[in-house]
Structures are given as structure tokens and as C-alpha cells.
Amino acid sequence: MLTIPKTDRRKPATLSALGNVSVPGTRAGAIVSLGLVIIAWLAIPVARVFILGTCGLGLVVGLFLTWLHSRER
């Protein structure tokens, strides 16, 4: 029978873990999101291509949805 020592057991993620940051859809959430993007831009140079691609795709999708919504009126 396989036993796992108590020191090797994994703890479940808590709400305070960095991977579980909740960002609401408010102005405060926008500031938090922008701050995370700036930190990622400065700290992870490899992520810059991904960040630019994500912003570009978000812009295209946002403009398309705005155009689609304005046509329905």
C-alpha cells in the first residue's frame, strides 16, 4: 500500500492565491486588469506578443460587436 507523508500532501488553492484573483466588471476591475497587464508586460518579455495579440483581437471583436449592436436599432 502506498502512503503519502503528511509533509508532501498538496493544499487546495485558497481565494488568496494569485491564480484565483477575482476581477469584477467595474472601474476598479479595469484598473486591476490594466495593472496586471502592465506588470506582465514589464516582468515577462515573452508575453508581450501574446498581450499585443490579445489586445488586437479584443479590439476587433469589440468593434464588430459594437457595429452589430448599432445595426439592430
Q: What is the pTM (predicted TM-score) of this model?
A: 0.56
Mean pLDDT lowest for which of 20-29, 45-54, 62-71? 20-29
pLDDT at position 38: 93
User: Is residue 33 within 8 Å of residue 23, measured between CB atoms?
Assistant: yes
Q: Average pLDDT of 59-69?
A: 94
- Average pLDDT of the chain, as a whole number: 81
Spans of all domains in the chain: 45-73
- The maximal CA–CA distance of the chain, rounded, in angstroms, is 68
Q: Taking 80 as the threshold, does the pLDDT of residue 46 lie above it?
A: yes
